[in-house]
Amino acid sequence: MIGNFDARTPSGPLDKKWTSHKDHSRLVSPNNRRKFEIIIVGSGLAGGSAAATLGELGYRVKCFCYQDSPRRAHSIAAQGGINAAKNYQNDGDSVYRLFYDTIKGGDFRSREANVYRLAEVSSNIIDQCVAQGVPFAREYGGLLANRSFGGAQVSRTFYARGQTGQQLLLGCYQALCRQIAAGSVQMFPQTEMLDVVLVDGHAKGIVTRNLRTGKIDNVAADAVVLATGGYGNVFYLSTNARGCNVTATYRAYKKGALFANPCFTQIHPTCIPHSGDYQSKLTLMSESLRNDGRVWVPERKEDSNKPPNEIPESARDYYLERKYPSYGNLAPRDISSRAAKEVCDESRGVGPGGRGVYLDFADAIKRLGEETIRERYGNLFEVYEKITGENAYQVPMRIYPAVHYTMGGLWVDYNLMSNVPGLFVIGEANFSDHGANRLGASALMQGLADGYFVLPYTLPNYLAAQMGKRPSSDHPEFKKADSDVRAKIDNLLKINGNVSLDSIHRELGTLLWDKCGMARNKQGLDEALRKIPELREKFWREVRVPGDGEDFNQSLERAGRVADFLEFAELMCLDALARDESCGAHFREEHQTPEGEALRDDENFADVFAWEFRGNGQIAPPKLHREPLHFETVHLTQRSYK
Amino acid sequence: MNFKLRIWRQRDAKSLGRLVDYDASDIPAQASLLEMLDIVNERLLLRGEEPIAFDSDCREGICGTCSLTVNGEAHGPDHPGAACELYMRKFRDGATIVVEPFRVKSFPVIKDLVIDRSALDRIVQAGGFISARAGSAPEANSIPVPKHDADLSMEAAACIGCGACAAACPNASAMLFTAAKVSHLALLPQGEPERTRRVVSMVRAMDAEGFGNCTNTYECEAVCPAEISASFIAKLNREYSKASLRRSAGE
> Cβ of A546: how many Cβ atoms within 10 Å?
17
Q: What letter does residue A169 receive in the DSSP assignment?
A: H
- If asked whether residues A380 and A503 sit together in one domain, one would say no
Mean of the pLDDT values across residues A380-395? 92
Q: Which is higher by pLDDT, A332 or A76?
A: A76
Q: What is the pLDDT of residue A464?
A: 98
Are the CB atoms for A377 and A81 separated by under 8 Å? no
Tell me if A640 is assigned to some domain.
no
Tell me if A32 is assigned to some domain.
no
- If asked whether residues B89 and B162 sit together in one domain, one would say no
B85 CA: distance to closest CA in chain A (Å): 7
Which residues in chain B are contacts of A127 at CB distance < 8 A? Answer: 137-140
- If asked whether residues B91 and B128 sit together in one domain, one would say no
Q: What percent of chain A has pLDDT over 90?
A: 89
For chain B, the domain total comes to 2
> Cβ of A628: how many Cβ atoms within 10 Å?
8
- If asked whether residues B244 and B164 sit together in one domain, one would say yes
Q: What is the pLDDT of residue A247?
A: 98
Which residues in chain A are contacts of B138 at CB distance < 8 A? Answer: 127, 131
A128 CA: distance to closest CA in chain B (Å): 5
Q: Is B81 left (phi over 0), alpha (psi -120 to 50) or beta?
A: left
Residue ending a domain, choose from A374, A403, A432: A403
**What are the DSSP E strand ranges found in B130-181?**
none
CATH of the domain at A77: 3.50.50.60
- If asked whether residues A98 and A192 sit together in one domain, one would say yes
- If asked whether residues B146 and B238 sit together in one domain, one would say yes
> What is the tens place of the pLDDT at every residue in A453-493?
999 999 999 999 999 999 999 999 999 999 999 999 999 99
- If asked whether residues B124 and B244 sit together in one domain, one would say yes
Are the CB atoms for A525 and A569 separated by under 8 Å? no
**Directed axis angle between helix A501-515 and helix B33-46, to 10°?**
120
The whole-angstrom distance between residue A526's C-alpha and the CA centroid of its chain comes to 26
Contact A389 B89 (CB under 8 A): yes
- Could you tell me if A72 lies within 8 Å of chain B, comparing CB atoms? yes
From CA A158, how far away is CA B26, in angstroms rounded? Answer: 45
B53: nearest CA partner in chain A: A554
CA dihedral B207, B212, B218, B222 (to 10 degrees): -90
**Directed axis angle between helix A112-132 and helix A17-24, to 10°?**
80
Q: What is the pLDDT of residue B168?
A: 98
- If asked whether residues B36 and B68 sit together in one domain, one would say yes
Helix H or strand E encompassing A204: strand A202-210
Mean of the pLDDT values across residues A414-434? 97
- If asked whether residues B53 and B146 sit together in one domain, one would say no
Contact A167 B144 (CB under 8 A): no
Contact B130 A76 (CB under 8 A): no
Residue ending a domain, choose from B62, B95, B114: B114
Exposure of A476 by Cβ count < 10 A (0-12 exposed, 13-18 middle, 19+ buried)? Answer: exposed
Q: What is the pLDDT of residue A77?
A: 95
CATH of the domain at A549: 1.20.58.100
Residue A40 β-bridge partners: A63, A225
A54: nearest CA partner in chain B: B134
Q: Is A134 left (phi over 0), alpha (psi -120 to 50) or beta?
A: beta
Residue ending a domain, choose from A363, A385, A403: A403
Tell me if A571 is assigned to some domain.
yes
Query: Domain range holding B224?
Result: 119-248
Total residues found in chain A within this entry: 642
- If asked whether residues A241 and A361 sit together in one domain, one would say no
A vs B, Cβ pairs < 8 A, gives: 213
B112 CA: distance to closest CA in chain A (Å): 10
Tell me if A1 is assigned to some domain.
no
Q: What percent of chain B has pLDDT over 70?
A: 100
Residue ending a domain, choose from B76, B95, B114: B114
- If asked whether residues A239 and A303 sit together in one domain, one would say no
From CA A556, how far away is CA B66, in angstroms rounded? Answer: 20
As a whole number of Å, the end-to-end CA separation of chain A is: 46
- If asked whether residues B132 and B230 sit together in one domain, one would say yes
Which residue, among A283, A45, A468, has the nearest Cα to B85 in the 3D structure?
A283
Q: What is the pLDDT of residue A596?
A: 82
- If asked whether residues A200 and A52 sit together in one domain, one would say yes
Q: What is the pLDDT of residue A615?
A: 77
CATH of the domain at B135: 1.10.1060.10
Tell me if A639 is assigned to some domain.
no
Query: Domain range holding A378?
Result: 268-403
Q: How confident is the model at residue A1 (pLDDT cuts 50, 70, 90)?
A: low
Mean of the pLDDT values across residues B162-186? 98
- If asked whether residues A226 and A94 sit together in one domain, one would say yes
Residue A317 β-bridge partners: A297
Which residues in chain B are contacts of A500 at CB distance < 8 A? Answer: 42, 45-46
Q: What is the pLDDT of residue A616?
A: 61
Three-state secondary structure call for residue A216:
strand
Tell me if A396 is assigned to some domain.
yes
- If asked whether residues B104 and B123 sit together in one domain, one would say no
Q: Is B207 left (phi over 0), alpha (psi -120 to 50) or beta?
A: alpha
- If asked whether residues B230 and B148 sit together in one domain, one would say yes
- Residues whose CB falls within 8 Å of the CB of residue A313, separated by 6 or more in sequence, listed in order: none
Residues A153-178, buried b or exposed e (16+ Cβ, 10 A)?
ebbbbbbbbbbbbbbbbbbbbbbbbb
Catalytic residues of A: 333
Q: β-strands A191-199, A202-210: how paired? A: antiparallel
Decide if pLDDT at A618 tops 80: no
Q: What is the pLDDT of residue A619?
A: 66
- If asked whether residues A343 and A255 sit together in one domain, one would say no
* A residues 345-404 lying closer than 8 A (beta carbon) to B: 383, 386-387, 389
- If asked whether residues A351 and A456 sit together in one domain, one would say no
- If asked whether residues A420 and A486 sit together in one domain, one would say no
Which residue, among B173, B180, B169, B181, has the nearest Cα to B223 in the 3D structure?
B169
CATH of the domain at B78: 3.10.20.30
From CA A562, how far away is CA A560, in angstroms rounded? Answer: 6
Work out the mean pLDDT of chain A and round it to a whole number: 95
Name the least confident of A144-148, B146-150, B175-179: A144-148
Mean of the pLDDT values across residues A338-345? 93
Contact B184 A554 (CB under 8 A): no
- If asked whether residues B107 and B136 sit together in one domain, one would say no
**Directed axis angle between helix A522-542 and helix A501-515, to 10°?**
170
Q: What is the pLDDT of residue A607?
A: 97
Give A480-526 as a DSSP string.
Answer: HHHHHHHHHHHHHHHH--SB-HHHHHHHHHHHHHHHSSSSB-HHHHH
Tell me if A398 is assigned to some domain.
yes
**Directed axis angle between helix A554-578 and helix A247-254, to 10°?**
60
C-alpha pair distances (Å), A205 with each of A67, A244, A361, A528, B58: 21, 22, 52, 35, 29
Contact A130 B140 (CB under 8 A): yes
Q: Which of B154, B188, B195 is most worth mutating to test chain A (most A CB atoms within 10 A of its CB)?
A: B154
Are the CB atoms for B92 and B240 separated by under 8 Å? no
Q: How confident is the model at residue A430 (pLDDT cuts 50, 70, 90)?
A: very high
- Could you tell me if A506 lies within 8 Å of chain B, comparing CB atoms? no
- Residues whose CB falls within 8 Å of the CB of residue A552, separated by 6 or more in sequence, listed in order: A211, A212, A213, A214, B12, B53, B110, B111, B114
- If asked whether residues A136 and A275 sit together in one domain, one would say no
- If asked whether residues B145 and B227 sit together in one domain, one would say yes
For chain A, the domain total comes to 3
Q: Rounded to two decimals, what is the model's pTM? A: 0.96
- If asked whether residues A71 and A87 sit together in one domain, one would say yes
Decide if pLDDT at B144 tops 70: yes
Q: What is the pLDDT of residue A109?
A: 98
Q: Largest alpha-carbon pair distance within chain B?
A: 68
Q: According to DSSP H, which parts of A326-442 are helical?
A: 333-345, 362-368, 370-388
Q: Is B206 left (phi over 0), alpha (psi -120 to 50) or beta?
A: alpha
- Could you tell me if A213 lies within 8 Å of chain B, comparing CB atoms? no
* C-beta pairs of B50-54 under 8 Å, 24+ apart in sequence: B50/A546, B50/A547, B51/A546, B51/A554, B51/A555, B52/B7, B52/B9, B52/B112, B52/B113, B53/A552, B53/A554, B53/B110, B53/B111, B53/B112, B53/B113, B53/B114, B54/B112, B54/B113, B54/B114
- If asked whether residues A324 and A248 sit together in one domain, one would say no
Residue ending a domain, choose from A463, A490, A510: A463
Residue ending a domain, choose from B114, B146, B171: B114
Mean of the pLDDT values across residues A126-147? 97
**Directed axis angle between helix B147-157 and helix A164-182, to 10°?**
70
From CA A355, how far away is CA A349, in angstroms rounded? Answer: 5
From CA A211, how far away is CA A67, in angstroms rounded? Answer: 9
CATH of the domain at A326: 3.90.700.10
